[in-house]
Amino acid sequence: MDDMIKIPTTAWNGDFSNKDESMSTEIDVCKLIDAIEETYQNLKEMALKEELELCLKRGENELKARFTILT
């Protein structure tokens, strides 16, 4: 996935009105979407094969605390 994301050649100076391209990050959206879809398919396959492992310092409790949405 060459050139999916191109880092700016000049550090951003904090000025939002400055639109100089040398301070802009470029993202090839098609390549990014392809990478996301490939990752998702790989995760699905790994999940079906039970090849995934939860690796959080506080385990399941950390996962639930950080990513559970209460309604």
Which structural domain range is residue 60 located in?
5-67
Residue range 11-32: mean pLDDT, rounded: 92
Q: Quick one: tokens of 12?
A: 């951003």
Residue range 39-57: mean pLDDT, rounded: 92
pTM: 0.63
Residue range 11-16: mean pLDDT, rounded: 90
d(CA 48, CA 50): 5
> Is residue 25 exposed (0-12), middle (13-18) or buried (19+ Cβ within 10 Å)?
exposed
Indicate if the pLDDT at residue 69 is higher than 80: no
- The distance of Cα 55 from the centroid of its chain, to the nearest Å, equals 18
Q: How many domains does the chain have?
A: 1
Residue percentage of the chain with pLDDT more than 70: 96
Across the chain, mean pLDDT equals 89
Note the pLDDT of residue 37: 97
